[in-house]
Structure formats: structure tokens, C-alpha cells
Amino acid sequence: MANRKRRADWEQRAQRVRKICADPTLALWQKAHRAGGAYNDVQLDGMQSKHRHRIFTTLSNLNEILAKYPIETFNDYELIETEDLWVIIDGFKSLASIKI
């Protein structure tokens, strides 16, 4: 079980992701970019192995999608096809559902 500090940090990130994904003012590509940013520098040590595995697997799957696109800047997310954007957003939302 992760310690309280890790759990609180994870829940704050998850809340941020849920808020970003639900924001009707953001374009899909902005949601995909910003939701991913919520997981920057997350600390995985101290988490249960099953949680780390799910996080790594999800991020690996999302990276496979992103590898298809020449993304160098924030605006390059506009190049991602709508179907792939939905997969990315759903992936980040699934991470937000993990209870650490």
C-alpha cells in the first residue's frame, strides 16, 4: 500500500485529469496533452506492484499511439487523429480511476 503522501499526490493528479477530460472548452488534442502532463514526475516507488504494472502498461500503450505522430511541440497534438485522441484520453482517465 502506498503511503498517505503518495496517495494524496496520486488523487490530486487523478482529479486534475478528470477535470481536464470533462472540460467542454478544451479541444480533444488539448485534453490529450494536458491530461498526460498531469502525470509528469509522478513517483511510482512505494506503490503496489499491480498499480505500477497497470500504469506502465497504459503509458506504454499510449506511447505506441504517440509514436505514429511527429510531435515536437504542444500544437503538434492537433495532428493526431480523432480516434487516437479518444484512446489517449480514455487511457489517462483509466489511470485516474486507480485507487492507490
Note the pLDDT of residue 2: 58
Say how many C-beta atoms besides its own lie within 10 A of residue 53's C-beta. Answer: 11
Domain boundaries, the chain: 4-96
Note the pLDDT of residue 63: 93
Return averaged pLDDT per consecutive 10 residues of the chain, 100 residues in all. Answer: 80 95 96 93 85 92 93 87 96 92
CA 56 to the chain's CA centroid = 11
pTM of full prediction above 0.85:
yes
Evaluate the CA torsion angle 80, 84, 90, 94 in order and state its sign. Answer: negative
